[in-house]
Amino acid sequence: MSARSERDQLARELEAARKRIADLETALLRRGRDALTAVLRIEAFREQFVEELARTRRRSLEGALIIIQVDRLADIHRDYGFAVGDALLSQLVEALREGTRSEDLIGRIGDDRFAVLLREAGEVATTACVGRLLAAFKEIDVGPVRGISASAGIALFGAADQDAVALFQHAGGALGGAQAGGGGRSVIAGEGDEGGVSDKLHRRDAVEALAIALLERDRYTGEHSESVVEMAVAVARGLGLSPAQCEDVRAAALLHDIGKVGIPDAILNKPGPLTPDERTVMAEHPVIGERILRNIGGFLTVADIVRHEHESWDGSGYPDGLVGDHIPIGSRIILACDAYHAMTSDRPYRARMSHADAFTELTRCAGRQFDPKVTEALVAHFYHQRSGHQLHLV
């Protein structure tokens, strides 16, 4: 067969494959199914939900409507592309299927929202189910994205509850309460609808309490973290990150060394350079920090940033050897700001470096240790925000 014949054959096979995919999508849509995930579309889900409410009334049963939203899917699409976002949603649906029963219903009700109907399930069973689902989402791994943070709003119903619209509103309101608390958590309607402000305060209080604990453990480390915050947030804004992302960067910058609470005093407070074995122990602190933060509601993204704040742009960092854009943007920002502050601070075993020399070192290592765009934004922060006059380049 000639090369031209082979090309023609491949073209025909490709066209046939495209037609089969289009036919499958059409068939799914006709059956009320979402083309990407094959779960019920919103119209079909609502129709079956109304039928379930009628069955609940006839048999004096109970159930639960859960609305789940992926936290910051728009940021994932922007940073990694729609292909990664679609793959994440597909894996999320697989986790939903594995975490629910065959008689339960799953529907896609928005770009980043899913609804789950748990049949004949009370509060205890529903709460346990949602907890398993949110934990399963954290284990999803697609390319550069490690773990999905999602929020859930729950509306419990019984034989007396017949208004499907009202139940959707209740679940949506509870979802808003979960998101106000930083995401990565669930709220039951009627128990957390008015907790948005309170949840934000709890998140702030948690960050401040951990920061104080770090300061008490090692004053230099705590004060160093506080100094990195201003730079990191300025760089995040300069790079055009969303307000939610900037808030995560702020929290992660303040807590990026929280894992050092698990490092022995003899290593943490050693006045001189560390030995290779001591450096190995010290290198565990990002992973320790991640473990601490992942157990706090709404801190999944912050935990991920902290885990990877010592990854290098060229893949030579730790703990996972991530490369380039696979490193969370918050981690890349904190690495550069952390290095700059460390270089320009006095330590017992060395004198501080001048600001000009620190800028030179950052620029020299851009493309290897540091993200070039982050380095550029950090230097711009000092020269533009401080106009070059308040900063003595000596």
Q: Which residue would you say has higher pLDDT here, 55 or 19?
A: 55
Q: How far apart are CA 355 and CA 323, in angstroms?
A: 28
CATH number of the domain residue 217 falls in: 1.10.3210.10
Structure confidence at residue 114 as a pLDDT band (50, 70, 90): very high
User: Prior bond to 328 cis, omega within 30?
Assistant: no
Q: Are 323 and 371 in contact (CB under 8 A)?
A: no
Least confident of 122-131, 233-242, 258-267: 258-267
Q: Specify the range with the lowest mean pLDDT, choosing from 179-193, 251-265, 372-386.
A: 179-193
Look at 92-101, 131-140, 224-233 and tell me which has the smallest mean pLDDT: 224-233
Q: Which of 139, 162, 194 is the last residue of a domain?
A: 194
Distance CA 377, CA 369 (A): 15
| Among 149, 167, 194, residue at a domain's last position | 194
Q: Are residues 173 and 282 in the same domain?
A: no
Q: CA–CA separation, 185 vs 214, rounded Å?
A: 25
Report H helices in the chain. Answer: 3-30, 42-59, 73-80, 82-99, 123-137, 164-180, 196-217, 219-238, 243-255, 265-268, 276-282, 285-294, 300-307, 329-343, 355-365, 372-380
Domain span holding position 190: 34-194
Establish if 23 belongs to a structural domain: no
User: Do 160 and 61 reside in the same domain of the chain?
Assistant: yes
pLDDT at 393 (0 to 100): 43
The token pair that represents 244 in the structure block: 């939610």
Domain count, the chain: 2
Query: What H or E segment, with its residue span, contains residue 119?
Result: strand 113-119
- Relative to beta strand 40-41, strand 105-108 is parallel
Q: Which residues have CB under 8 Å from 19's CB, separation 6+?
A: none
Chain CA centroid to CA 197, Å: 21
pLDDT of residue 192: 45
Residue 11 CB burial class (10 angstroms; 0-12, 13-18, ≥19): exposed
Q: Is residue 270 exposed (0-12), middle (13-18) or buried (19+ Cβ within 10 Å)?
A: middle
Highest mean pLDDT among 39-43, 72-76, 239-243, 372-376: 372-376
pTM flag (> 0.75): no
Q: Look at residue 361 and tell me if it is in a domain.
A: yes
Residue environment code for 97-115, b if the CB has 16+ CB neighbours within 10 A, otherwise e: eebbeeebbbbbbeebbbb
- Specify the 3-state DSSP secondary structure of 324: helix
Residue 169 and residue 67 share a domain: yes
User: Domain containing 172 — which CATH number?
Assistant: 3.30.70.270
**Which percentage of the chain shows pLDDT scores above 70?**
81
pLDDT tens-place string over residues 167-219: 999 999 899 888 876 778 888 988 644 444 445 545 665 676 676 666 655 65
